[in-house]
Structure 1
Amino acid sequence: MAAVHLTRPSFTLSRSLLAAFIISPLLTGCLSSDSGGSDNDTSTGKVNALGVSGLTYQTASQSGKTNTEGQFQYYPGETLSLWVGDLPIAEGVPAQEWVTPLEFFPDIRALLQIPSVDAEGLSTHTITEQQLINRVPVTNLTRFLIALNWTESVREGEGIEIRDRVIKQLNAALPKLTGPIDFGVSQTEFDATGSTPSPANQLLAEICFYPAGNELCEEPPTEADIDSAPERPENEDDWDPDVEYKQDLRAKKQRIIEAARSMEEFDAENARDYLKRELTKITITIGNRFYLDNHTAKHSVSDTSNKRVKIQRIGDGVEIADMDALTTRPQDVVLHSYSAQMAEVEYYVGGPVDGESEIVISFLPENTYRWVRKTLRVVITN
């Protein structure tokens, strides 16, 4: 990308609206199964920042289950398909270091490539993400995955764990559903209960999230069972520990009913909060790989030559697809130019002694839609 040059003393920067999208050549290979760590030349990807374990995945060359960290193997340029057991939840997703539910739907995935502009006038992906997580398919799918977690909630700092026991019950229930599970329907339709429960709720009703043999996995006692049971004697000394009384069966039925999960228990706002945490963690992880070669720069008021700050990457070369930059006090520190190709910003001081400014750099690393932001503090001295 060509460098952006600013003619002194202009402070208006041109910007690119859309980063170049580069698709690596598709690598061929024999289909293999590898759901653990990478012990060959494949790359390792992850579903969400903290992982969704137990998903079946397939690329052109790799297949298996996401491991306890939610990881999968792939070659750059491949696409990824995902299932929960026999239930497909995504296909044709570009395989990469991280994939999230925002990328499971083609129309939403395309919008991720278009950055938003924040209050400072810099490009950012976070505003776009925050808007897209409100889309109904994303919310329904995220809630559904949380509903399949072994525990009833996903605590902060934990990933989603979909156990084999859950998947076996899910697969057994799928043929019995009255219709397909459609994440694109309204939340009201997706959560329907009563005499015509939604397919998602039909599925959850068939899954017990307790170990095999647990009482809560049994069929609840019928009213006929309860009616035919004896009444519990008033005198506790007369109770027989080997007899299930009416009161016992009613309590057991209630426990089993309350143990069953239903989609309306999984709040949309909580699901969005979970997804926000996952997206933020990915952004922070990517951002931590980059740094400026200086955090604070001090320059004499008499030295008005162009200065340079470069973007560096820990342990690797820097490849930048796009870049924005600004100076917060252009009367003190003037932006001269910036270049994504060179991964650098040039500036010069133009203010008095003790004047200072921050140069804010927003840049887009290659092979991601996520923008990274770094800041240089510039101080003018004698």
Structure 2
Amino acid sequence: MKLVHLTRFILPLSAAIALTGCFDSGSSSGSDDTRTGQIHFQGVGGLTYQTASQSGKTNTRGEFRYYPGETISVKVGNLPIAEGIPAREYVTFLEFQEDTRAALQTPAVDDEGLNSHQVREQLLFENNTLMNLSRFLLALNWTENVDDDEGIDIRERVINQLNQALDDPNLPNTIDFNVSISEFTAENSPANQILAEICFHPKDDPLCGEPPTQEEIDNADDRPVDGELDPDVDYKEDLEALRERILQSVRNMDEFDNEQARNYLRRELAAITRKLSRQYYLSPEDATHAAGDTSIKSVKVKKIRGDAQLAQLQAQSTRPTDVYVNAESWQEAEVEYVVDGRTGGESEILVNFRPEGTYRWVRKQIRILID
């Protein structure tokens, strides 16, 4: 029996190209003033990218090169994924679409009444296109699960098979990520038809072959109960087991559900926020003042390297009867406060700020004791 890759019978489909990109040939200039960006914190490797001046494939860390002010377009093999994304240090799937990218610029408000990009990010997890895109890219990872300390690894073998499927006249030549989730994950959806053509094993692995037919299984000999097995004979039990293994190895979008996509996005987004937050601190980090000292005090936002250039700043006292916020200045990266409580009182001031060049907010706090 000749083993070839499993191909499903499908009905002819016409698929409109919903996401397009213009990718001219070229290579990175290697100039020292280019910058390195990254798709997600742990990286998405194997994506083809193009800016106005740079092009190539993201490495295992998801890195790409760009000049400030450029936008980036992204494909998997010959499949367009997104275009017109502002290139920056970190780019996430939430920034692949214009509508979700715009929504990120308007923070939501958390339980403490302060602006929060993380609340906004969570709300965007209900976006169908974001879920479809995230689930499909997770499905292209070489292994079925992406561990917490790993990025998405889209290997060349997967890309080659994807391109072959896109070139097959009997298969869809693109995938529309903008459809409903139920349509995207339907049994014969373009995503599932393309995914069924990809074997996530080495080329010569038996799991990359066509499964034995029922006729071949019925015509095969039963494995003898006693006596030696003939190594040149494919017994019925062996063919049944091989068929089951091959069919089970074919991936389907239902295996990569919305919750798995959300967990992956939460992890990646939280890691980027933590890295940003570690670059800043408050000076002083805590303070003690005498009761009755009603002079104006201040706390400043500092950056470990360079000046703290802020776009917005908020401050809130957890016990305003003991310590209240007098003024806030994003220009000076400073919060003024006044002690108004008795000896033994205390409060924390939550300093919430958005650095320039990002939609993300950073929150620090200073504890103030009244002596």
| TM-score normalised over the length of structure 1 | 0.87
Deviation of 1:41 after TM superposition, in Å, equals 1.6
* CA displacement 1:300-359 (0-9 Å, x = unmatched): 123221111110111111110011111111111121111001000011111111111111
Question: Which residue among 145, 150, 163 is the counterpart of 1:153?
Answer: 145
Partners of 1:325 and 1:73 in 2: CA distance:
37
Tell me what 2:45 maps to: 53
SS at match of 2:343: coil
The reply on whether 1:358 has 2:352 as its aligned counterpart is no
Partners of 2:342 and 2:240 in 1: CA distance:
82
SS at match of 2:311: strand
Partners of 1:329 and 1:265 in 2: CA distance:
49
Q: Relative CO higher for 1 or 2, CA cutoff 8 Å, sep ≥ 6?
A: 1
Structure 2 residues not aligned, in runs of 5+: 1-23
Tell me what 2:86 maps to: 94
- Structure 1 stretches of 4+ moved >6 Å: none
Structure 1 residues not aligned, in runs of 5+: 1-29
Deviation of 1:234 after TM superposition, in Å, equals 3.4
* CA displacement 1:122-157 (0-9 Å, x = unmatched): 111111000001211111111111100000011112
Tell me what 2:361 maps to: 371
Tell me what 2:179 maps to: 185
Tell me what 1:104 maps to: 96
SS at match of 1:33: coil
1:14-163 maps to which residues of 2 (within 5 A)? 33-34=27-28, 40-163=32-155
Tell me what 1:274 maps to: 264
Partners of 2:108 and 2:346 in 1: CA distance:
28
SS at match of 1:73: strand
Tell me what 1:6 maps to: none
Tell me what 2:191 maps to: 200
User: Does structure 2 conserve the Cα–Cα contact (< 8 Å) formed by 1:82 and 1:89?
Assistant: yes
Tell me what 1:314 maps to: 304
Deviation of 1:227 after TM superposition, in Å, equals 3.5
Tell me the percent identity. 55
Partners of 2:236 and 2:305 in 1: CA distance:
69
User: Does structure 1 conserve the Cα–Cα contact (< 8 Å) formed by 2:38 and 2:63?
Assistant: yes
User: Does structure 2 conserve the Cα–Cα contact (< 8 Å) formed by 1:357 and 1:377?
Assistant: yes
Counterpart amino acid of residue 61 in structure 1? S
Deviation of 1:251 after TM superposition, in Å, equals 1.3
Partners of 1:50 and 1:116 in 2: CA distance:
26
Partners of 2:361 and 2:26 in 1: CA distance:
34
Tell me what 1:329 maps to: 319
SS at match of 1:157: coil
Aligned-pair Cα RMSD in Å = 1.7
Tell me what 1:256 maps to: 246
SS at match of 2:134: helix
Partners of 1:232 and 1:52 in 2: CA distance:
46
